[in-house]
Amino acid sequence: MKKNNHQTVVALGFFDGVHNGHKSLINKTVTLAKKNHCRSAVLTFKEHPLNLIFPAYAPLMITTNDEKVAIIKSMGIDDVYINEFDEKLMNLSPESFVRDYLLSQYHVIHIVVGFNYTFGYKGEGNTEKLKELGKKYGFSVSVMPPTINNGQTISSTLIRDLIASGKVSEVEAFLGRKYKIKGHIVVGKRLGHTFNIPTANLELSDKVILPGAGVYYTRVHVRGQSFDGITNLGHNPTFEKHPYTIETYIYDFSDDIYGEAMDITFLERIRGEKKFDSIDELIAQIRSDIVFVDENYRKRK
């Protein structure tokens, strides 16, 4: 754990996705740090605490740690600390968490948290407890209210639910950007090449939450350029025991990109996953999907 000897305004939380609600905390932290002529920091964990407490309930992440740090830094935060969440930390009382973990490692003069922030053993500490400890140990506290959009409180859970259910076009209003995944191109079954519909098979760089199985209009970034794409995620039930794949047909592109890095940004869900009676029916549907996206989305841009 890196120790910070500078006076610091610190934001606490997990910050998965760094969504529009998180951004209010981060902006507040940057503003207060500038006002007090000190460092601004975000303190978070490498893995969601549920991975240790209740692994079966641990959610898949919206962002990788590298993405999280990059987004937070881009907002003007000086320092991002991503620490291990272990059993010792899990078992600290709320006061010990503040005194022995937070204040002993970081020269904190002000803490910024969300309205539902909890800390310490079994989450026994809340925002009121944090303010009480602030008076005892000499730091102040800002509690940010919920960020509301369309009558819904923005949260990482809400955004994960939207992604998992395939409602990718609704994500940006809460996340603050369109949902994107990253990986490298690997060799697949090459069925598309056989029928002159080549696809790029993406292997994820890190495990993150994926949109529900189906076909999506996407934007692909590869070799420093962006292209329209149509991406299928799923087990392709037309074939028995087919592995889960992320395959993308890239419009106006025919280069060999095996082994290269590629990003996929999800724009619209076209249809769900479907089992076809024959390969011919599957290929006909893929060609129909390509035409549909071209006529209904690409030509409208």
What pLDDT is recorded for position 96? 97
Task: Kindly state the average pLDDT of the residues 216-223.
Answer: 97
CA–CA dist 40, 31 (Å, integer): 9
Nearest to 209 by CA among 270, 149, 266, 273: 266
Query: Distance (Å, rounded) from C-alpha 9 to C-alpha 293?
Result: 48
For the record, the structure tokens of 8 come out as 């610091």
> Quick one: pLDDT band at residue 300, thresholds 50, 70, 90?
confident
CA-based nearest residue to 108, from 26, 46, 52, 29: 29
The pLDDT of residue 282 is 87
Q: Which fold has domain 178-300?
A: Elongation Factor Tu (Ef-tu); domain 3 (2.40.30)
DSSP for 234-266 reads E--TTSTTPPPEEEEEETT-----TT-EEEEEE
Residue 220: pLDDT above 80?
Answer: yes
Q: Which phi-psi region, left, alpha or beta, contains residue 284 (left: φ > 0; alpha: ψ -120 to 50)?
A: alpha
CATH topology of domain 4-153: Rossmann fold (3.40.50)
Kindly report, residue by residue over 72-89, the tens digit of the pLDDT.
999 999 999 999 999 999
Q: How far apart are the first and last CA of the chain?
A: 48
- Domain boundaries in the chain? 4-153, 178-300
pLDDT 10s digits, 94-105: 999 999 999 999
Q: Evaluate if residue 241 carries a pLDDT over 70.
A: no
User: 132, exposed or middle or buried, with CB in 10 Å at 0-12, 13-18, 19+?
Assistant: middle
Enter the DSSP assignment of 62: S
Q: Give yes or no for a contact between 27 and 74, defined as CB atoms under 8 angstroms apart.
A: no
pTM, to two decimals: 0.91
